[in-house]
Structures are given as structure tokens and as C-alpha cells.
């Protein structure tokens, strides 16, 4: 596995349960990986998988189940994407950092082999039966001979870049804004709430009973230095209906960052003995909370395929991995794009666009069929078996 984030660590953990050995190669240190602040809303299928592979105890203690997510639309009554009502399933708020901590703990308990601080990682002969990986660590060159390489090293990693340009097809949409986010040690709101407002999108999320995560839409090129805490809190509250804004507990930020928004898909997700998973293959805008959940579904499909290959000589799932994973990827891409378009204010947006979005939201509020369709997609379609 190239990459020691949640995708690489989860794949290694699940392969171990299936009796397949693996090595994880990560260019950063464990401390750096755990310092990254990422998503925290899990689909029901992700929750069930984590429980099935022995990683659910802390999640069940500290995570917060949700019936869905609220959309607070300016000048309209709040609307709940009610996944529990329409699908019988719940979401779970549980931070990606906590999941990564759980994965590291499980990895260390079983004595898994993890290489930290690997520089100049390169993939070789991935279309042959004997691929290998080279890297340097502390100035010393290393080589790992393997049967398969799983590229779990994110959007900027070496894995996808190792696929020739005449083989790889990429599809991308960059959005003309980002999310300015802060973390604060304050009690979060009871619900995860998307706020649509003429000033721009905002989001209230949560990581634990005393850890809140908030975002506001901001222009590309925004400078964090221009956003002291007081300005952020004032802008956040301005974008929420007053009854909700009055319930937001403010406090000093413990983390502040700006995330650009991008939709991106690379096809195929397999090249010879190289298999892409997670952000190495696809990026979704965080509207819809699909990024981590897509990485988990990739890992599910890839682990199943590799165990069948190594333990039973059965390659049918290995051969169909890319096609199967991409069906779910494009479903999540479409939903995330739709929610981003609906809830954000685009620079070129005019009165016509605004009225169309308002009508689309009104239709959603009035149509049980539209509500059920959105809830089914938002909770995550079942994994293909």
C-alpha cells in the first residue's frame, strides 16, 4: 500500500483479516498523518463495515448517530434530508482523524509493517508479474518486491502519476470558491446543518460532544490572515437563520484552514498490478460528505478482490474492480455536484439561476418522491456483492 491514510491502513487491516500480508509505505510521519483534519460524516454502510472488521467500539461510544442532515435555506423553513425515515438507516458523525487513530492502534496491536518517512517513492514494472517499489529513508535506498501495488496516496501522490497519459483519462471540475473552516472546542449544534444564503454557503458539523467544525464559503485566493476568529463567527452566524445562529457556541479556534472544492475522477482505477483507491482516483467536493465513504467502498471492493485472487485463484472481482468501483464513484460525484450547485452562490449566478435553485429546493420540500430519492443517495447505495 502506498499511503498510510485511512484508505491504505484500512485496506491493510482488512487484508490481514483475510490472511494476506501487506506493507504500508507512507511519506509522512504518523504524527503528521494524524494532524490532518478531514471529514467526519459516515454512511451507514461505512459504519457497518467498520464494526464488521473490529473497528467500531470507539465509534459507537463517541460517534453521534443522525437521522440525516438539515438544509437551512434563507427565508424558508429548515428541511431535513431524512435518511432514517426514507431508508431506515442513520448517518454517523465520527471524525476521520479518530478513524485513523483507531486504524493505527489496530495496526500496532498486530505488529503490522509500516514504513514512515519514505521519500522519492517510485513504482516499477506494474504491468508485469513482478512489480516493485523503491524509496529512500534517512538517505538509504530501499526496494520492496510485491505481487500487487495499491495506490492509496491521495490526489497528489505518485500512484496515479505512474499510469501513462495515453492510458489514463481524467475528468475534472474546479469550483470558483473554497471552504474556510475552523475547529473549536465548543458544543456543536444537535444536527449537521447546510445553510444556503445569499452571502454564501455555510456548514455546521461536529466531531465530538465538545468539538465543533464550521465552514463558510469563501472566494478563491482568500487569505487566512484576513479572517480572525471574531470575523469568522460573525459571518457564520449571518448565514444561518437567527434561531439557529443564536444557538451556535463560539470560542477560540484550534485549527483554521481553507479547502478548495474540486470534482475529479481518474479512469481506469487499475493499470496492470496497480490499483487506485480513495483520493488517488477521485475527489468530491465535501458537500454531501462522500470522500471518506468512497474510499471505504473502494477498499471493500479491492480487499474482496485481492483475497479471492490470493486465496482462491479467482480473478473475477479483480478484473471488474475498476468498473465496479467507478459506478459508485460517479453516483457520489453526481450527488456532490448537485448539492454544491444547489447550495452555493456562484460568482456568475444571476436572478434566473437563483430562482431555479429556489424552485428546486421548494420541489424537494413538497415532493416525498424527491425526498426519498435524495435520502437514498445521501445515505449511500448498498455495496455491490
DSSP conformation class of 119: E
Estimate to the nearest angstrom the gap between the alpha carbon of 110 and the chain centroid: 26
The DSSP result for 57-95, as a single string, is HHHHHH-EEESEEEEEETTS--EEEEHHHHHS--EEE--
Domain chopping of the chain, boundaries: 6-65+91-173+262-344
| Whether 30 is catalytic | no
| Residue 75: exposure state from Cβ atoms within 10 A (0-12, 13-18, ≥19) | exposed
Reported as type and span, the H/E element at residue 204 is strand 202-208
Q: What is the mean pLDDT of each run of 10 residues along the chain (385 residues)?
A: 96 97 94 76 95 96 92 95 95 90 94 94 97 96 98 97 97 96 93 96 88 94 96 98 96 94 98 98 94 97 98 97 97 97 96 96 97 96 86
Identified catalytic residue from 282, 290, 309, 344: 290
Catalytic: which of 94, 175, 301, 378?
378
pLDDT at 32: 84
User: Is 3.30.70.260 the CATH classification of the domain at 6-65+91-173+262-344?
Assistant: no
Give, in order, the Cα–Cα distances in Å from 374 to each of 83, 216, 338, 361, 364: 8, 23, 11, 12, 9
* pLDDT at residue 384, as a whole number: 86
Residue 321 annotated to the active site? no
What is the model's pLDDT at position 333? 97
What is the Cα 311 distance to its own chain's centre? 30
| Residue listed under C-alpha cell 443517495 | 377
pTM: 0.94
Q: Identify whether 378 is a catalytic site residue.
A: yes
Q: Are 68 and 83 in contact (CB under 8 A)?
A: yes
Catalytic annotation, pick one of 66, 197, 237, 309? 66
> Is residue 285 annotated as a catalytic residue, yes or no?
no
Rounded-to-integer distance, Cα 96 and Cα 98, Å: 5
Is position 271 annotated as part of the catalytic site? no
Place of cell 434566473: 352
Cα–Cα nearest to 325, from 293, 288, 289, 372: 293
Task: Please identify which residue in the block is written with the cell numbers 438507516.
Answer: 89
Query: Residue 37's pLDDT is what?
Result: 66
C-alpha span between 213 and 218 (Å, rounded)? 16
- Residue 2: which residues within 8 A CB-CB, separation 6 or more? 8, 25, 121, 123, 133, 149, 150, 151, 152, 153, 157, 158, 159
CB 152 within 8 A of CB 11: yes
Residue 167 grid cell:
492510458
Q: Per the residue annotation, which of 286, 301, 321, 344 is the catalytic one?
A: 286
Q: Is there a cis peptide before residue 268, judged by omega within 30 degrees of 0?
A: yes
pLDDT at 125: 98
Amino acid at each position: 500500500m502506498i499511503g498510510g491514510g485511512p484508505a491504505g491502513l484500512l485496506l491493510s487491516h482488512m487484508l490481514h483479516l483475510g490472511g494476506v500480508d501487506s506493507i504500508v509505505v507512507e511519506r509522512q510521519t504518523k504524527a503528521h498523518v494524524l494532524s490532518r483534519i478531514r471529514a467526519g460524516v459516515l454512511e451507514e454502510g461505512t459504519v457497518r463495515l467498520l464494526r464488521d472488521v473490529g473497528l467500531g467500539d470507539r465509534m459507537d461510544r463517541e460517534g453521534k448517530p443522525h437521522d440525516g442532515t438539515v438544509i437551512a435555506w434563507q427565508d424558508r423553513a429548515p428541511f431535513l434530508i431524512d435518511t432514517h425515515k426514507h431508508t431506515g438507516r442513520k448517518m454517523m458523525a465520527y471524525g476521520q482523524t479518530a478513524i485513523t487513530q483507531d486504524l493505527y492502534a489496530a495496526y500496532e496491536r498486530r505488529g503490522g509493517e509500516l514504513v514512515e518517512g519514505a521519500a522519492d517513492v517510485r513504482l516499477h514494472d506494474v504491468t508485469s508479474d513482478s512489480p516493485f517499489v523503491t524509496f529512500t529513508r534517512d538517505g538509504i535506498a530501499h526496494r520492496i518486491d510485491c505481487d500487487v501495488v495499491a495506490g492509496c496516496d491521495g490526489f497528489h501522490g505518485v500512484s496515479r502519476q505512474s499510469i501513462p497519459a495515453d492510458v489514463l483519462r481524467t475528468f475534472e471540475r474546479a469550483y470558483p470558491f473554497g471552504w474556510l473552516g475552523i475547529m473549536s472546542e465548543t458544543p456543536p449544534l444537535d444536527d449537521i446543518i447546510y445553510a444556503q444564503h445569499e452571502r454564501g454557503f455555510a456548514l455546521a458539523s461536529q466531531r465530538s460532544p465538545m468539538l465543533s467544525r464550521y465552514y463558510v464559503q469563501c472566494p478563491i485566493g482568500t487569505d487566512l490572515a484576513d479572517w480572525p476568529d471574531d470575523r469568522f463567527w460573525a459571518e457564520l452566524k449571518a448565514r444561518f437563520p437567527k434561531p439557529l445562529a443564536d444557538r451556535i457556541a463560539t470560542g477560540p479556534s484550534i485549527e483554521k484552514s481553507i479547502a478548495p472544492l474540486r470534482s475529479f475522477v481518474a479512469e481506469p482505477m487499475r493499470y496492470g498490478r496497480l490499483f487506485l483507491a480513495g483520493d488517488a482516483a477521485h475527489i468530491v467536493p465535501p458537500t454531501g460528505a462522500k470522500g471518506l465513504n468512497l474510499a471505504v467502498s473502494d477498499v471493500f471492493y479491492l480487499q474482496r478482490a485481492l483475497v479471492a485472487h490470493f486465496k482462491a485463484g479467482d480473478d473475477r472481482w479483480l478484473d471488474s474492480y475498476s468498473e465496479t468501483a467507478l459506478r459508485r464513484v460517479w453516483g457520489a460525484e453526481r450527488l456532490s455536484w448537485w448539492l454544491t450547485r444547489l447550495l452555493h452562490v456562484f460568482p456568475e449566478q444571476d436572478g434566473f439561476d437563483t430562482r431555479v435553485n429556489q424552485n428546486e429546493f421548494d420541489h424537494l420540500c413538497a415532493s416525498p418522491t424527491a425526498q426519498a430519492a435524495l435520502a437514498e443517495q445521501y445515505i449511500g447505495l448498498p455495496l455491490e456483492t
